[in-house]
Amino acid sequence: MIAPGTVVLIDVMGAVLQKPRTAVVVSSDVYHATRPDVIIAFLTTNLAAATGPTDYVLQDWVAAGLHLPSAFRSFISSRPTDEIIKEIGRVSDRDWQEIQARLRIALGL
């Protein structure tokens, strides 16, 4: 079972072809125990665009297995687990806490 906070590579259909994109799993273990999919939020290397109150620039992106500085965006999607190409790493505890705070803002929780 994939853990919340795991950084994954997902195939995303673009206008012309599929493109791998990085994302972080935001669904819980309870969700995973009863569902065949995962809820993810996309990451971006376009830090200049990640300036909203629901965005967060990762502090520990290298430790998460990313090759470039990246930001969390509250662009949320549900995907079948078979669309996960591979697990890249896991966000640090401090980044995970900040991601959860941005999700609470985005979802009004």
Tell me: the pLDDT tens digits for 82-94? Answer: 888 899 999 999 9
CA distance 37 to 51: 29
Q: Has residue 27 been placed in a domain?
A: yes
Tell me: the pLDDT tens digits for 13-51? Answer: 766 777 889 999 999 999 989 999 999 999 999 999 999
CA distance 18 to 31: 27
- The SS3 of residue 65 is coil
- In the chain, DSSP finds a helix count (H) and a strand count (E) of 2, 6
What's the confidence (pLDDT) of residue 109?
Answer: 85
pTM of the predicted structure, to 2 decimals: 0.90
Question: Using an 8 Å Cβ cutoff, are 25 and 66 in contact?
Answer: no
Q: Has residue 57 been placed in a domain?
A: yes
Q: Has residue 23 been placed in a domain?
A: yes
Q: Has residue 67 been placed in a domain?
A: yes
Most confident of 10-19, 60-69, 80-89: 60-69
Could you give the C-alpha distances from 10 to 52, 69, 93, in angstroms and in order?
Answer: 24, 18, 22
Total domains, the chain: 1
What's the confidence (pLDDT) of residue 20?
Answer: 86
Burial of 91 (0-12, 13-18, 19+ CB in 10 A): buried
pLDDT (mean) for 3-14: 87
Most confident of 4-13, 35-44, 75-84: 35-44
Q: Has residue 1 been placed in a domain?
A: no
Q: Could you list the residue range(s) of the whole structural domain that residue 90 is in?
A: 6-107
Q: Has residue 83 been placed in a domain?
A: yes
Q: What CATH number corresponds to the domain at position 57?
A: 2.30.30.110
Q: Has residue 11 been placed in a domain?
A: yes
Residue 55, Ramachandran bin (φ over 0: left; ψ between -120 and 50: alpha; else beta): beta
- For the cut 70, the answer to whether the pLDDT of residue 75 exceeds it is yes
Q: Has residue 32 been placed in a domain?
A: yes
